[in-house]
Amino acid sequence: MHCETQVLEQQEVKRPHSNGSRRAPANKEREQQRVWDWVRQAASVCERARAGDLQARILGYSGDDDLGRLCTAINDLLDITDAFVRESRASLEYASQGRFFVA
């Protein structure tokens, strides 16, 4: 009897809804929500950077999938941009004081 109950429950999940679509498993919905949460965080970091906060970073994602590549690429881009801005600022400050370094 226990097996029959499980089969009926599984069939219920797979039964089409009135609009003809099949219900996605709960774990797939959770995974989609997790991905969208990371996409929203990435968008927020990009918006902060656009507003001048070059220290904003996407923190906590450690996956090696496409989403992980995207988060890493955004962080790397911000690292390089932040370093360039800092070095440019320092160079201009020294130049304005007439201090130059020759290799």
- 53-73 residue pLDDT tens: 999 999 999 889 999 999 999
Question: What is the chain's mean pLDDT, rounded?
Answer: 82
- Are the C-beta atoms of residues 23 and 9 closer than 8 Å to each other? no
More confident residue, 22 or 92: 92
Axis crossing angle, helix 26-50 with helix 66-96, rounded to the nearest 10: 10
Task: Indicate the pLDDT class of residue 24, thresholds 50, 70 and 90.
Answer: low
| Domain boundary assignment for the chain | 23-94
